Amino acid sequence: MLLLGPSGSGKSTLLAALAGLLEAGESEGELLVDGADPRTTHERVGIVFQDPETQIVMGRAGDEVAFGLENRCVSPDEIWSRVDEALEAVGFAYGRDRPTDALSGGEQQRLALAGVLALQPGLLLLDEPTANLDPDGSALVRTAVRRATRSGEKTLLLVEHRVADALELVERAVVLEAGAGVVADGTPAEVFASHGPALAAAGVWVPDHPLPVPPLRPRGPIEVLLAAERVTYRYPGGSELALPPTDAAARSSEALAVVGPNGSGKSTLAMLLGGLVRPTSGVVTTSDRLRQVDANEPWRWPAAALARRIGSVFQDPEHQFLTGRVIEELMVGPRIAGADLAQAKRRADALLERLHLATLADANPFTLSGGEKRRLSVATALADGPSVLILDEPTFGQDRRTAVELLDLLAAARDDGAAVCIVTHDAEFAAALADRTLRLPASEVAA
> Rounded mean pLDDT of 342-371?
90
Considering the domain architecture, whether residues 13 and 148 belong to the same structural domain is answered as yes
Kindly report the CATH number assigned to the domain that includes residue 71.
Answer: 3.40.50.300
> Rounded mean pLDDT of 251-264?
93
**Closest alpha carbon to 355 in 319, 409, 314:** 409
**Closest alpha carbon to 111 in 83, 87, 146:** 87
What gap in Å lies between CA 292 and CA 278, rounded to an integer? Answer: 19
The answer as to whether 446 is a domain residue is no
Q: What is the pTM for the complete model shown?
A: 0.79
H or E element at residue 183 = strand 181-186
The answer as to whether 215 is a domain residue is no
Q: What is the per-residue burial (b if ≥16 Cβ within 10 Å, else e) of 27-47?
A: eeeeeebeeeebeebeebbbb
The answer as to whether 358 is a domain residue is yes
Considering the domain architecture, whether residues 228 and 140 belong to the same structural domain is answered as no
pLDDT at residue 75, as a whole number: 92
Axis crossing angle, helix 135-149 with helix 76-89, rounded to the nearest 10: 130
Task: Count up the domains in the chain and report the number.
Answer: 2
Q: Which of 34-38, 57-61, 90-94, 310-314 bottoms out in mean pLDDT, i.e. has the lowest? A: 90-94
The answer as to whether 389 is a domain residue is yes
The answer as to whether 210 is a domain residue is no
H or E element at residue 156 = strand 155-159
Q: What is the pLDDT of residues 207-250, one digit of tens each?
A: 888 888 999 899 989 999 999 999 999 988 777 899 999 999 99
The answer as to whether 207 is a domain residue is no
**Closest alpha carbon to 271 in 237, 240, 239, 306:** 306
What gap in Å lies between CA 261 and CA 155, rounded to an integer? Answer: 30
Considering the domain architecture, whether residues 229 and 192 belong to the same structural domain is answered as no
pLDDT at residue 446, as a whole number: 47
Considering the domain architecture, whether residues 342 and 245 belong to the same structural domain is answered as yes
Axis crossing angle, helix 105-117 with helix 76-89, rounded to the nearest 10: 140
> Rounded mean pLDDT of 169-187?
90
The answer as to whether 299 is a domain residue is yes
> Rounded mean pLDDT of 387-413?
90
Choose the final residue of a domain: 169, 202, 235: 202
Strand order from edge to edge, sheet including 224-233: 243-251, 224-233, 281-286
> Does residue 107 carry a pLDDT above 90?
no
Q: Which of 44-48, 82-86, 208-212, 358-362 bottoms out in mean pLDDT, i.e. has the lowest? A: 208-212
Average pLDDT, the chain: 89
The answer as to whether 218 is a domain residue is no
Considering the domain architecture, whether residues 277 and 373 belong to the same structural domain is answered as yes
Q: Give the torsion through C-alpha atoms of 40, 41, 43, 49, to 10 deg.
A: -100
Its domain, for residue 37, covers 2-202
**Closest alpha carbon to 220 in 78, 64, 414:** 414
> Rounded mean pLDDT of 390-403?
87
As a 3-state breakdown, the chain gives helix, strand, coil percent values, each rounded to 5, of 40, 20, 40
**Closest alpha carbon to 401 in 235, 209, 129, 266:** 209
DSSP state of 435: S
Considering the domain architecture, whether residues 161 and 232 belong to the same structural domain is answered as no
- Residues 6 or more apart in contact with residue 412 via CB below 8 angstroms: 214
Per DSSP, the three-state class of 382 is: helix
Residue 58 CA, distance from chain mean position: 22
pLDDT at residue 384, as a whole number: 80
- Residues 6 or more apart in contact with residue 107 via CB below 8 angstroms: 92, 93, 94, 262, 263, 446
Expressed in angstroms, the distance from the first to the final Cα of the chain is 33
Q: Give the torsion through C-alpha atoms of 82, 85, 88, 93, to 10 deg.
A: 40
- Under 8 Å between Cβ of 428 and 211: yes
> Does residue 439 carry a pLDDT above 90?
yes
- Residues 6 or more apart in contact with residue 44 via CB below 8 angstroms: 33, 34, 121, 122, 123
What gap in Å lies between CA 338 and CA 340, rounded to an integer? Answer: 6
> Rounded mean pLDDT of 157-164?
87
What gap in Å lies between CA 273 and CA 118, rounded to an integer? Answer: 39
Considering the domain architecture, whether residues 269 and 174 belong to the same structural domain is answered as no
> Does residue 447 carry a pLDDT above 50?
no
> Length of the chain in residues, anyone?
447
> Rounded mean pLDDT of 195-211?
86
Considering the domain architecture, whether residues 297 and 397 belong to the same structural domain is answered as yes
Considering the domain architecture, whether residues 174 and 305 belong to the same structural domain is answered as no
Extended strands (E) in 28-138: 45-48, 123-127
> Does residue 313 carry a pLDDT above 60?
yes
Considering the domain architecture, whether residues 125 and 243 belong to the same structural domain is answered as no
Considering the domain architecture, whether residues 231 and 198 belong to the same structural domain is answered as no
Considering the domain architecture, whether residues 148 and 117 belong to the same structural domain is answered as yes
**Closest alpha carbon to 113 in 161, 65, 162, 163:** 65
Q: What is the pLDDT of residues 7-38, one digit of tens each?
A: 778 888 899 999 998 876 677 888 899 999 99
What gap in Å lies between CA 225 and CA 149, rounded to an integer? Answer: 50
**Closest alpha carbon to 43 in 121, 157, 126, 118:** 121
pLDDT at residue 292, as a whole number: 66
H or E element at residue 123 = strand 123-127
pLDDT at residue 352, as a whole number: 93
Mean pLDDT comparison of 257-261, 370-374, 384-388, highest-scoring range: 257-261
